[in-house]
Amino acid sequence: MEIIADLHIHSKHARATSKNISIENLEKYARIKGIGLLGVGDFQHALRRKEIDEKLTEDDKGILRTASGFPFIWQTEISLMYSQNGKRGAVHLLVFAPNKEIADQITAFLGSKGRLDYDGRPIFGMTSPAFVEALKKISDKIEIIPAHCMTPWFGLFGSKTGFNSLQECFQDQYKKIYAVESGMSADPSMLWRFKEVSEGINIVSFSDAHSFWPWRLGREATIFDIPELSYGNIIKAIRTGEGLKGTIETPPEYGKYHWDGHRLCNFSCSSDETKKINGICPVCKKPLIIGVDNRVEEIASFPLGFKPKSAKLFYKLLPLQEVIALAKNSRLESPKTWEIYNELIRNFGNELNILLNASKESLLGKNVDAKLVELILKNREGEIKVAPGYDGEYGKALMGEKQKALV
């Protein structure tokens, strides 16, 4: 069975998230999006755990289901902040558990290391190797994946983190790491250039959704092709690549940290331009925040365009609401955008079916505006240009001549 999964989710108990992220809203909008499996998010937080226990029922395959049958798996994100060999470690890690019993043991362990009540993404002073070792002692079925691995502040390879490889970060525990999450500001073609990825580390992609809206939920996802839905089959695919069909990515320029820059100075630039100005912001005269595109060039082992034998397919897609807003010169959440979006969903079932599969003829046959049809097809081919995001600012989709001018 083929299933599209978004396994990096937060609850309303995590910092900077919507207060309306409920199990019900996640299910509703996952179905609208075309997502068939979600992470529960923040399972170690007592209030989130109460909601999980009240609204989800676990089967013998490690899958939790709503009353209507929608599936989730045990998932959370942990922040580690520490010093290691003179370097600042600031790493976010995704953690998956095979069942309620193991989730309870993880929660008990984390509770012994610090508070769990103040944030759905709690912070601990443990090193990455110590964290992996401790969790793997609980169960080898626990899966740990570096989250948004390239972002400057909390990505494994980020410019502010300082680690140049998985082995440098995880030391003697690095062979227990089987995959990295690409994150919005990077895509697999960028990560393929890393030696460890070329040697078998797999790439997954998830949304890190802080709300349930369809331009956030499932904006990045992983496509699995497995015999049946079970925690074991999902983890086997992540670890071995067998059953991991590919990923859905936003264009990396759409992410908040693709280029170098300073948000408060309203300045951004490419890595080549950063070299010309010696990494100093021309506005405030302070060092620029180095983005993902530049950081990849710093640590890549292979040239641009390198593709390992283990490479999986991936799609680069802007969320449908972005495409509609671009076509209609409207806002993502405007009534005009929602009206068109909802009509498309009524006619084609879910968003990912529209983005990936709906033909030009079928779209026009449902009286979809020709300009919007053209953009949907351009989006599918990765031909909508995006002004790169930087220093916490999302990238912006562009129309017309600006697309031709952007390099």
- Averaged pLDDT, 30-54: 98
245 with 355, same domain: the answer is no
Rounded Cα gap, residues 187 and 382, in angstroms: 12
Q: How confident is the model at residue 89 (pLDDT cuts 50, 70, 90)?
A: confident
Q: Is the pLDDT of residue 406 over 50?
A: no
249 domain residue, yes or no: yes
Q: What is the pLDDT of residue 28?
A: 98
What is the residue-wise DSSP string for 88-147? Answer: EEEEEEEEEESSHHHHHHHHHHHHHHS--SS-SS-EE---HHHHHHHHHHH-TT-EEEES
Categorize the per-residue pLDDT at 113 as very low, low, confident or very high, splitting at 50, 70 and 90. very high
pLDDT bucket at 350, cuts 50 / 70 / 90 = very high
Cβ pair 256, 388 in contact under 8 A: no
- Alpha-carbon span 226 to 236, nearest angstrom: 9
Give yes or no for residue 125 having a pLDDT over 90.
yes
Two tokens, residue 273: 């331009």
Q: Let me know whether 6 and 121 are in one domain.
A: yes
For residue 313, is it within any domain?
no
What is the gyration radius of the CA atoms in the chain, in angstroms?
Answer: 21
Domain termination site, one of 233, 254, 275 = 254
CA–CA separation, 208 and 150 (whole Å)? 14
Calpha distance 344→325 (Å, rounded): 14
Residues 245 and 205: their CA atoms lie apart, in Å, by 12
Mean pLDDT of 349-378: 98
Q: Determine the average pLDDT of the residues in 181-210.
A: 97
What pLDDT, on the 0 to 100 scale, is given for residue 15? Answer: 94
pLDDT band at 43 (very low <50, low <70, confident <90, very high): very high
3-state helix vs strand vs coil in the chain, percent to 5 = 35, 20, 45
Look up the domain containing 87 and give its range: 2-254
Residue 273 lies in a domain: no
- Provide the CA 229 distance to its chain's centre, in angstroms: 21
Do residues 326 and 246 both lie within one domain?
A: no
Residues 218, 93 share a domain: yes
Average pLDDT over residues 19-30: 97
Residue 54 in this model has a pLDDT that exceeds 60: yes
Per-residue pLDDT of 150-167, as tens digits, reads: 999 999 999 998 799 999
User: Helix 128-138 and helix 100-113: axis angle, to 10°?
Assistant: 140
Q: Residues 124, 230: one domain?
A: yes
DSSP-assigned letter for residue 14: S
Identify which of 308, 351, 326, 80 has the alpha carbon closest to the alpha carbon of residue 217. 351
Say yes or no to pLDDT of 289 above 70: yes
Indicate the pLDDT class of residue 400, thresholds 50, 70 and 90.
low
pLDDT at 376: 98
Confirm whether 38 is domain-assigned.
yes
Is the same domain home to 45 and 161? yes
- Across the strands, what pairs with 123? 79
Do residues 248 and 327 both lie within one domain? no
Closest CA to 378 of 360, 396, 401, 351: 360
> Is the same domain home to 136 and 237?
yes
Predicted pLDDT of residue 404:
40
In a domain, 81, yes or no: yes
Q: Answer whether 192's CB lies under 8 Å from 159's CB.
A: no
Q: What percent of the chain has pLDDT over 70?
A: 98
On whether both 120 and 205 belong to a single domain, the answer is yes
- Asked whether residue 112 carries a pLDDT value surpassing 90, the answer given is yes
Assess if residue 263 is contained within a domain.
Answer: no
Does residue 228 belong to any structural domain of this protein? yes
Distance CA 15, CA 346 (A): 34
17-26, 382-391, 397-406: segment of lowest average pLDDT: 397-406
Residue 320 corresponds to which tokens in the numbers above? 């449908």
Lowest mean pLDDT among 80-94, 143-157, 199-213, 318-332: 80-94
CATH number of domain containing 75:
3.20.20.140
Total count of domains within the chain:
2
Q: What is the pTM of this model?
A: 0.95
Query: Domain check: are 86 and 193 in the same one?
Result: yes
Give me the pLDDT at residue 84, please. 78
Instruction: Give residue 405's pLDDT band: very low, low, confident or very high (50, 70, 90).
Output: very low
Percent of the chain with pLDDT over 90: 95
Same domain, 199 and 82: yes
> Is 165 in contact with 195 (CB distance < 8 Å)?
yes
Report pLDDT for 85. 75
Specify whether 332 is located in the same domain as 235: no
Q: Is residue 7 in a domain?
A: yes
CA dist list (Å): 183 to 53, 247, 250, 251: 30, 11, 9, 10
CA 264, distance to chain mean position in Å, is: 25
Residue 401, pLDDT above cutoff 70: no
